[in-house]
Amino acid sequence: MTRCRRAGCTLTRPAGSTAGPTGLPPAPRPAPPASRRLHGRPHRRPPAGFPPGTNEVRCHMSNPQAPGEAVRPGPGSTLRAGAMSMLPFLASAIPMGLAGGILGPANGLSGWATLGLAMAVNSGTAQFIGFALIAGHSGALTILLTTLILGLRMLIYSAILVPHVREVPQRWRVLLGFGLIDAVFFVAIERLKKGELTERKHLFFLGASGVMYVTWMLCTLVGMALGSAVPDLADLGLDFPMTAMFVAMLAGSLANWRVGAAIVTAGLTVVLGHGLPYNLGVVLATVVGATVGTVCEYLEKRRTPENSATETSEESSPDEGDPTSEDNTANDGKPPTEDKTAKADKVNEENVA
């Protein structure tokens, strides 16, 4: 019997069918039909060393990979993984999107203006504050500056993610930067720290941000339809799930003292600036919290090398009373015991002389 040499294949064929009756190679056979496949691929020449005529045999291996070889996830799997990671956050995004669709027409915006603002901003907080500023007849410059200040945290998120996406092309970074929101950042940074996201990172980000963006737009449209049909729907507290989501996301980060200091400082700033107009207390809290977090991280990085240098110097310093230390060693580098022995030998030689 002749066995297929491909790893994991158990295919065999009779030994007597490899040569003609005269011992010469058999006559060429007609090419097999195009539908015939060998090892899951279209027909090709048999591997080197396999007897002629084996093209009549078909291998039905489902997975020609070598045993123990890691299966690399495909692009579709990575895209789906990013979308599935956002499912827990849809519970807060759906009511928030409905609230955004309701508040737009309630503050005097048309349906197209409400949908256009949601598509351009891609931020629930900036969108709601923009509605309030528009209702208060604020100027365009005030609305634009407020939106930019509220987006400062996205600048911080981007700075944190830059070391992890250096290999991603620039055109992908621009697209992913537009889709970066709080939920996408928290999920992505956790997976990056655990080493679960090593390949096709741009597809994971695209799947996560894409499902959130599409859900937000659909909920905005539904909210606009419900707002005209159901009165006083905006007073039902549909924005509370977003607050609960932020609390849940931040709870896991309180073990880090830098994050805790930034959160506490931002919370106190929000309370003290509650009476400021146009919700500027939130803007001020964002700036103060980000500043405190950055300063704490700088201090920790500055303190860590000093501690390591101190420990290294303590380990390398000679112990007191050690006979091999510099204090107990002669100028020629020999220990005191050897020095005394040499002196005694010298005295004995002088006495003998």
In this predicted structure, what is the pLDDT of residue 56? Answer: 45
In this predicted structure, what is the pLDDT of residue 199? Answer: 78
Give the alpha-carbon dihedral of 181, 183, 189, 190, to 10 degrees. Answer: 180
Q: H-helix or E-strand containing 38?
A: strand 37-38
Cα 104 from Cα 228, distance rounded (Å): 11
Cα 116 from Cα 262, distance rounded (Å): 34
Q: Where are the domains of the chain?
A: 75-236, 252-302
Q: For residue 264, how far is the Cα from the chain centroid?
A: 26
Q: Can you say whether the dihedral through the CA atoms of 329, 330, 335, 336 is positive or negative?
A: negative
∠ Cα 127 131 132 (to 5°): 120
In this predicted structure, what is the pLDDT of residue 120? Answer: 87
Q: Which tokens belong to 64?
A: 């020609």
- Which residues have C-beta within 8 Å of that of residue 122, sequence separation ≥ 6? 178, 179, 181, 213, 216
Confidence band for 94, pLDDT divided at 50, 70 and 90: confident
Nearest Cα to Cα of residue 282 among 243, 233, 237, 248: 243
Identify the DSSP state of 167. T
Confidence band for 38, pLDDT divided at 50, 70 and 90: very low
Q: H-helix or E-strand containing 286?
A: helix 280-316
Residue 26 has pLDDT above 50, yes or no: yes
Q: H-helix or E-strand containing 203?
A: helix 201-229
Q: Output phi, psi for 38, to 5 deg.
A: -120, 120
Q: Output phi, psi for 34, to 5 deg.
A: -65, -25
In tens, the pLDDT along 242-293 reads 666 666 666 666 667 777 788 888 889 888 888 887 667 777 887 888 788 8
Cα 172 from Cα 181, distance rounded (Å): 16
- Which residues have C-beta within 8 Å of that of residue 188, sequence separation ≥ 6? 161, 197, 204, 205, 208
- In this predicted model, which residue has the larger pLDDT, 29 or 338? 29
In this predicted structure, what is the pLDDT of residue 218? Answer: 93
Confidence band for 344, pLDDT divided at 50, 70 and 90: low
Q: Which tokens belong to 195?
A: 């080493």
Nearest Cα to Cα of residue 286 among 164, 178, 142, 126: 126
In tens, the pLDDT along 309-329 reads 554 454 444 444 444 444 444
* pTM > 0.75: no
What separation in angstroms does the CA of 43 have from each of 52, 236, 306?
14, 66, 66
Asked whether 237 and 95 are in contact (CB, 8 A), the reply is: no
Mean pLDDT over the full length of the chain: 71
One-character DSSP codes across 244-282? HHHHHHHHTTTTSHHHHHHHHHHHHHHHHTTTSGGGHHH
Q: Which amino acid is at 4?
A: C
Mean pLDDT of 59-76: 55
Nearest Cα to Cα of residue 215 among 101, 305, 315: 101
Cα 319 from Cα 325, distance rounded (Å): 7
In this predicted structure, what is the pLDDT of residue 5? Answer: 60
